[in-house]
Amino acid sequence: MNNQSLVFSVSDLTRRIKTHLEGAFKSISVQGELSNCKLHTSGHFYFTLKDEHSQIQGVMWRSRVSGLFFTPEDGMKVIATGNLAVYEVRGVYQIDAVQLKPMGVGELQLAFERLKQKLAAEGLFEASHKKPLPRFPRRIAIVTSPTGAAIRDMVNILGRRFPVAELVLVPVKVQGAGAAPEIASAIRDCNVFGAIDVIIVGRGGGSMEDLWAFNEESVARAIYDSDIPIISAVGHEIDYTIADFVADLRAPTPSAAAELAVPDSAELVEIVRNFHYTCRQLIRDQIAAQRSNIMSLLQSYSFNRPVDMLRQYGQRLDELQRMLGRGVHQEISSSGDALRSLRQRLLSLNPASVLERGYAIVYRGVDVVTDGNRLKAHDRVELKFHDATRPAVIE
């Protein structure tokens, strides 16, 4: 049987092509521009890789998508590494991508600028949305790698500057596959926990690829949605990430973030000492000033006039008491003389005194006889003398 008489079914031909192609093109790398990027609900990532003249379909399965350190977007130039595969149902060949990497810093910078413009247009960078940091935070969450130099520097600085603050380490990956979802999830967990005053999110320096997790949209939106103030502390002073623009405060380094997050306790102690000294001095000055005012008042004519008046009134009272005493004494003496005179007059008018001089009082019954013509012969009377009473009969 010759090839002209050999007839294949579509499935057989596709299967043979699949066998030859997949066997001949294993572990290849293809560079091109991404288009038609689509993350399916299944988690698989579908895309088209193209150049000026041709294009090829590509797929990256869900288990490998989670390993991407960046978010592929249309227009981004990448290198896809994987195997050539044939999708038999449609009879098309495609790249079964094991790895996707941007073709260089330029592509990452392009993705950075695109996302920055997109989020800026949505208002994620607006100053009105940024929350003020607490003056004296009691609990600080640090979202970073537990093994990096950044966490050691921040713990040392925070412990030295403000040892009363409680530090909560939320360990996450800060670069590579899966770093962005971990960082975003850690920020949300801090908000769910709630008892956090400020969050520091960051890591030490590195290349743009190393810092890329902090340029992911998921991290930016987690920072924007946070009710807790967030300090972004990524890389060195010259490094800028999307997280820096969204955060409530951008620190040039993790060490600077630790200094910005808390006050210096030594400075606070010095402020308190100065305040105490100033208050004490002000109180002393006020006491001295008031003492001087009081002494001036005590020595003033107006203040001493009431005392002088009281003394004069006291002296006048003494005079009046003496005058009253003399007047009372004179009155008593005069009244005594009058009383004695009256007494003498009374004594002189006392019938007993008259009787002592030889007189007698004549009684007829109980009546005093004052007129002799009223008596008749044989009337019985009594004669009262000063020392006795005697009966008598009128002749």
Q: How far apart are CA 79 and CA 59, in angstroms?
A: 13
Q: How far apart are CA 87 and CA 64, in angstroms?
A: 19
For tokens 């960046």, name the residue: 70
Q: How far apart are CA 310 and CA 312, in angstroms?
A: 5
How would you write the pLDDT of the chain (395 residues) with one tens digit per residue? 455 567 877 887 878 877 777 777 888 889 898 999 999 999 899 999 998 888 999 999 988 887 777 788 888 888 899 988 888 788 788 999 988 888 876 778 888 888 899 999 999 999 999 999 999 999 999 999 999 899 999 999 999 999 999 999 999 999 987 899 999 999 999 999 989 999 999 999 888 888 999 999 999 999 999 999 999 999 888 889 999 999 999 999 999 999 999 999 888 888 888 988 899 999 999 999 998 888 887 777 777 677 777 888 888 888 888 888 888 888 888 888 888 888 888 777 777 677 777 778 888 888 888 787 888 887 888 888 878 888 888 87
Provide the β-strand partners of residue 52.
Answer: none
The structure tokens listed for 281 are 């001095």
Cβ neighbourhood burial of 265 (10 Å; 0-12, 13-18, 19+): middle
List C-alpha distances in Å: 223 to 228, 232, 244, 248, 394. 9, 9, 10, 9, 151
Report all structural domains of the chain as residue ranges with CATH numbers, in order of start: 10-103 (2.40.50.140), 137-263 (3.40.50.2300), 351-393 (no CATH)
For tokens 């094991």, name the residue: 98
> Where do the H-state alpha helices sit in the chain?
10-24, 62-65, 105-122, 149-161, 179-193, 217-225, 242-246, 254-261, 265-299, 301-349, 351-356
On whether the CB atoms of residues 276 and 267 are closer than 8 A, the answer is no
Residue by residue, DSSP assigns 72-113 as: --TT-EEEEEEEEEEETTTTEEEEEEEEEEESSHHHHHHHHH
State the Cα angle at 183 between 105 and 199, rounded to 5°.
115
Question: What number of other Cβ atoms are within 10 A of residue 44's Cβ?
Answer: 15
Q: How far apart are CA 127 and CA 292, in angstroms?
A: 55
List C-alpha distances in Å: 45 to 27, 29, 35. 19, 17, 12
Length of the chain: 395
